[in-house]
């Protein structure tokens, strides 16, 4: 009994030391180069977010007036004009490039979601190929990097919401959405749908089944 007790106590001490060592390791600050990189990434990300928010606050009717005119000129290389909205937008590739640059850091997930949510210039005006393409290069692009990321469920929900309109229109033969009418257009649609299916195959959230079903309906309609 005494031997067993001593063994148990020794085991507890070893376990306690191991836990203490683990906690000590966790408590250690990140290496200086990593901390520096994280601060730099945060600063660069916040700059893009500030630029995005500042552009959104410019009234359409005052876009060519000061001080907005000078602000736009100073940031011209980082922004793009959307004619339908009458608004300047941050170029989405700046967010995606920033994600690639800092993909090893936790903040990369947030940067990718900002890229996915960043508005694109122009509008689809009922063109199905355009809607599928837009979802592919924004929300689905986020899922390609983070199939089970912090915003994966949000991405799926937004894709579902948009594709629902198309599927309902096709099923009801309402004609509000227009699909491709030539082989090149059908091939392009099939390609984008195939890409999205590959991306969704790595997603574990249950809602992916809904998106796959929606894509199947749209794809079958324009084979």
Closest to 87 (Cα-Cα) out of 55, 112, 118: 55
pLDDT of residue 33: 73
Neighbours of 82 (CB within 10 A): 15
Overall number of domains in the chain: 2
Within this chain, do residues 62 and 112 fall inside the same structural domain, yes or no? Answer: yes
Residue 106 shares a structural domain with residue 143:
no
Q: Whole-model pTM? A: 0.83
Instruction: Tell me which residue range forms the domain holding 148.
Output: 124-223
Kindly give the confidence (pLDDT) of every residue in the chain, 223 residues in length, as a single tens digit, with 9 standing for 90 and above. Answer: 334 333 333 343 333 343 344 334 334 555 667 789 999 999 999 999 999 999 999 999 999 999 999 999 999 999 999 999 899 999 999 999 999 999 999 999 999 999 999 999 999 999 999 999 999 999 999 999 999 999 999 999 999 999 999 999 999 999 899 999 999 999 999 999 999 999 999 999 999 999 999 999 999 999 9
Q: What pLDDT, on the 0 to 100 scale, is given for residue 30?
A: 56
Question: Is the domain of 118 the same as that of 141?
Answer: no
Residues 34 and 109 reside in one and the same domain:
yes
State the residue for tokens 């009458």.
86
If asked whether residues 141 and 69 sit together in one domain, one would say no
Same domain for 148 and 78: no
Strands (E), the chain: 79-82, 87-90
């Amino acid at each position: 009994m005494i031997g067993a007790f001593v063994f148990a106590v020794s085991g507890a001490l070893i376990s306690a030391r191991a836990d203490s060592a683990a906690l000590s390791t966790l408590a250690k600050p990140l290496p200086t180069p990593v901390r520096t990189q994280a601060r730099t990434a945060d600063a660069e990300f916040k700059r893009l977010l500030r630029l995005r928010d500042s552009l959104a606050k410019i009234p359409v009717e005052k876009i060519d007036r000061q001080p907005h005119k000078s602000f736009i000129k100073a940031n011209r290389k980082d922004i793009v004009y959307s004619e339908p909205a009458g608004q300047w937008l941050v170029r989405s590739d700046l967010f995606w490039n920033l994600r690639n640059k800092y993909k090893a850091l936790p903040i990369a997930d947030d940067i990718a979601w900002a890229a996915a949510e960043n508005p694109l210039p122009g509008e689809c005006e009922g063109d199905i190929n355009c809607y599928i393409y837009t979802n592919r290069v924004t929300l689905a692009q986020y899922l390609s990097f983070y199939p089970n990321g912090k915003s994966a469920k949000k991405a799926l929900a937004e894709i579902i919401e948009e594709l629902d309109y198309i599927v309902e229109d096709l099923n009801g033969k309402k004609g509000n959405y227009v699909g491709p009418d030539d082989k090149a257009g059908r091939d392009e649609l099939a390609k984008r749908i195939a890409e999205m299916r590959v991306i969704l195959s790595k997603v574990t959230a249950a809602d992916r089944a809904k998106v796959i079903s929606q894509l199947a309906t749209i794809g079958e309609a324009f084979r």
